[in-house]
Structure 1
Amino acid sequence: MEDNPVNRRIIGRQLQKLNYSFHLACDGNEGIEYWKKYNPKVILSDCHMPNLSGYEMTERIRKLENKLAHKQRTPILAITGAGMKEDQEVCLKAGMDEILLKPIQMEQLQQTLSKWFKYEK
């Protein structure tokens, strides 16, 4: 999820080059709907989005996962330009699993995703 169209295109190109399939959402509400529909293996989410932030989206997904006992926990990776320790703590408190700092480099993205994907793409 990323509200900035330029950043969405960049992340989309990076994921394409790394041979990952993906869906792009513009805000947290759309992200939750995609999560329900597609059951992704990993979610990349900007923290600050209109309508519903990445933090709020993550908290809602975590609550839904708890309600749906049969649904596995989806790793949610924060994408943020805020690298302060306090910002990272907010991400983790919301239920995000890891933080990627903008601008995301291809090698960093590849290494991070490979940690969270246990099976073939």
Structure 2
Amino acid sequence: MIRNCYSKQILLAEGDEFNTMVIEDDLNYFIKKFTLTKAKNRKEALEYFKSNTYDIILMDLHMPVLNGIEATIEIRKLELNKNSIQSIPILAMTANIVKSELDKCINSGMDAVIPKPYKPEQLLLKLSEFFP
């Protein structure tokens, strides 16, 4: 379990309702203090990002409207415009784990990739890299 002294703010950008439910259940089990904002597509994710502060973003690559890579590129541009001192960690979540796809994730500004379907321990391990 990730232990913390304050509530984590997590933005989940996931287009599939079932995947959203599974991820939320896993987060509830492993992280006791968190607030989860759920975006169903890139547009919602960007709007939430513009108006809130998050500790981490979990980004599905294949969302409706436009994909997670495009959303990540836009988020990184917004951070530059805000002169953000530190960029928010963005973790890609994808079933497509071929090297070319993984390279696209990292080149777009994502910090790590969690393969789907994932084991809850994989999610916890990646989150613990970014949550002290």
TM over 0.5: yes
What corresponds to 1:69 in structure 2? 83
Supply the distance in 2 between the matched residues of 1:70 and 1:50 (Cα, whole angstroms): 28
Q: Residues 99-118 of structure 1 correspond to what in structure 2 (within 5 A)?
A: 99-118=113-132
Tell me, yes or no, if the aligned pair for 1:15 and 1:21 is still in contact at 8 Å. no
The code of the aligned residue for 2:67 comes to: S
What corresponds to 1:13 in structure 2? 25
**Where has structure 1 moved over 4 Å in runs of 4 or more?**
none
- Give the TM-score taking structure 1 as reference length: 0.92
Higher helix proportion = 1
1:30 corresponds to 2:60: no
The code of the aligned residue for 1:60 comes to: E
What corresponds to 1:4 in structure 2? 16
Supply the distance in 1 between the matched residues of 2:17 and 2:86 (Cα, whole angstroms): 30
- CA shift digits 1:28-69 (9 cap, x unpaired): 111111112221110000001111210111000000101111
What corresponds to 1:60 in structure 2? 74
- What is the count of residue pairs matched by the alignment? 118
What corresponds to 1:83 in structure 2? 97
The code of the aligned residue for 1:2 comes to: E
Offset, 1:75: 0.6
- Give the TM-score taking structure 2 as reference length: 0.84
Identity, in percent, stands at: 36
Supply the distance in 2 between the matched residues of 1:27 and 1:50 (Cα, whole angstroms): 5
SS in 1 for 2:39: coil
Offset, 1:71: 5.3
The code of the aligned residue for 1:73 comes to: S
Higher strand proportion = 2
- In structure 2, stretches of 5+ residues that fail to align are 1-12
- CA shift digits 1:64-108 (9 cap, x unpaired): 101111453011000000111111001111111100000121111
SS in 2 for 1:40: coil
